[in-house]
């Protein structure tokens, strides 16, 4: 039987291990960056920060991180979409859930209002996406990358639709298994360790399949996808076939 007196030591040990792992990762990425500078490593362009060169591997996936700004493939895909397709009036009001700082840096000087939000209190607004404490039609653009898989997405999508002004748009990305026709979720899986195994993260409630745009459309949105194709994949180290989804509320 476990001695209760031993238990308080476990948490510090875990965080020490995590700290050590992060330090090793940082040192490894720094070394890669240095080698690239020395040998002029050929490669990619980061549309987020403009870096040219090799990217750093993570967990056996080559070329995942930009060593200059830490962007991941989905960030670079989003920035490509923003560069090519986003048309934003200066009067736009933007609400950004679980905000990535570089997106805020880009949006804030270009729009009338840019506000960040999350379920915790570390952002401008503390909001539950499944019951958003805001009036109808309050924002023109709402951004939520990798948020919907953590909560009741039907409630959240209905709320996003309500809070968007007519003609407004929601920009979404989620973990999606392209080989699956349907989203995989199982409400009986509640233990964080089981969720990690089934849904790849301790706080994920599901992994989406190709029906994700249908789930967004069910809330009233017209949905379009921006997909990582060549030549962008090899130029910007994108995940082949990854998608950004844009849902429009009718004007
Ligand atoms: Zn970069």
140, 149, 209: which is closest to 171 by C-alpha? 140
Task: Give me ligand 1 centre to Cα 11, in Å.
Answer: 34
Nearest to 147 by CA among 169, 171, 113: 171
- Cβ within 8 Å of residue 157, ≥6 positions away: 148, 215, 216, 218, 219, 221
- Cα 178 from Cα 164, distance rounded (Å): 28
Specify the pLDDT at position 3: 41
Percentage with pLDDT > 90 across the chain: 67
Q: Is 239 exposed, middle or buried (0-12, 13-18, 19+ CB in 10 A)?
A: middle
24 or 70, which is more confident?
70
CA 190 / ligand 1 centre spacing (Å): 36
Convert the pLDDT of each residue in 176-186 to its tens digit: 999 999 999 99
Could you tell me the distance, in angstroms and rounded to a whole number, from the CA of residue 169 to the centre of ligand 1? Answer: 26
Residues with CB under 5 A from ligand 1 (ion): 46, 48-49, 51, 66, 68-69, 71
Whole-angstrom distance, CA of residue 25 vs CA of residue 179: 31
pLDDT in tens, 58-81: 655 656 888 888 889 999 999 999
Q: Beta-carbon neighbour count of residue 64 at 10 Å?
A: 16
The answer, yes or no, to whether residue 45 has pLDDT greater than 60, is yes
Q: Please give the distance, rounded to the nearest whole angstrom, from the Cα atom of residue 131 to the centre of ligand 1.
A: 35
Domains and CATH numbers, the chain: 4-65 (no CATH), 73-248 (3.40.50.150)
pLDDT > 80? residue 6? no
Task: Give residue 57's pLDDT band: very low, low, confident or very high (50, 70, 90).
Answer: low
Do 207 and 176 meet the contact criterion of CB atoms below 8 Å apart? yes
Ligand 1 centroid from CA 70, angstroms: 6
Query: Residue 31's pLDDT is what?
Result: 65
**pLDDT on residue 10:** 41
Distance, CA of 61 to CA of 111 (rounded, Å):
36
Å from CA of 186 to ligand 1 middle: 37
Specify which of 42-56, 184-198, 210-224 reaches the highest per-range mean pLDDT: 210-224
Lowest mean pLDDT among 28-32, 51-55, 146-150: 28-32
Would you place residue 118 in the very low, low, confident or very high pLDDT band (cuts 50, 70, 90)? very high
Strands 93-97 and 139-145: parallel
- pTM for this predicted structure: 0.79
Distance 2 CA to ligand 1 centre (A): 48
149 C-alpha vs ligand 1 centroid, how far in Å? 26
State the sign of the Cα–Cα–Cα–Cα dihedral 113, 116, 122, 126.
positive
**pLDDT one-digit tens code per residue, 141-172:** 999 999 999 999 999 999 999 999 999 999 99
Give exposure, 33-43, as e/b (b: 16+ Cβ within 10 Å). beebeeeebee
Tokens for 190, please give them.
């509640």
Report the mean per-residue pLDDT for the chain: 87
> Residues 6 or more apart from 49 whose CB is under 8 A from it?
66, 68, 69, 71, 102
First CA to last CA distance, the chain: 64
Examine the pLDDT at 132 and tell me if it is beyond 70: yes
Q: Which two three-digit tokens encode residue 106?
A: 């880009």
Of the chain, the percentage scoring pLDDT greater than 70 comes to 84
**Predicted local distance difference test score (pLDDT) of residue 55:** 75
Quote the distance between the C-alpha of residue 221 and its chain's center. Answer: 20
Q: How many CB atoms lie within 10 A of CB 194?
A: 13
């Amino acid at each position: 039987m476990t001695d209760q007196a031993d238990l308080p030591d476990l948490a510090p040990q875990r965080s020490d291990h995590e700290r050590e792992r992060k330090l090793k990762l940082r040192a490894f990425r720094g070394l890669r960056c240095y080698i690239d500078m020395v040998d002029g490593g050929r490669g990619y362009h980061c549309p987020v920060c403009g870096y040219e060169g090799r990217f750093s591997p993570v967990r056996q996936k080559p070329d995942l991180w930009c060593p200059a700004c830490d962007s991941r493939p989905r960030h670079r895909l989003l920035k490509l979409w923003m560069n090519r397709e986003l048309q934003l009036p200066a009067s736009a009001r933007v609400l950004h859930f679980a905000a990535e700082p570089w997106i805020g840096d880009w949006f804030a000087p270009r729009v009338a209002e840019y506000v960040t939000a999350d379920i915790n209190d570390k952002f401008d607004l503390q909001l539950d996406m499944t019951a958003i404490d805001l009036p109808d039609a309050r924002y023109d653009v709402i951004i939520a990358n990798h948020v919907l898989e953590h909560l009741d997405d039907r409630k959240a999508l209905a709320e996003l639709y309500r809070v968007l002004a007519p003609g407004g748009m929601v920009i979404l990305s989620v973990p999606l298994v392209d080989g699956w026709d349907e989203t995989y979720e199982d409400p009986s899986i509640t233990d964080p360790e089981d969720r990690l195994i089934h849904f790849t993260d301790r706080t994920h409630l599901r992994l989406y399949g190709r029906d994700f745009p249908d789930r967004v459309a069910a809330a009233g949105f017209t949905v379009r996808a921006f997909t990582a194709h060549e030549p962008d994949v090899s130029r910007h180290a994108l995940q082949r076939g990854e998608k950004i989804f844009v849902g429009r509320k009718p004007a």
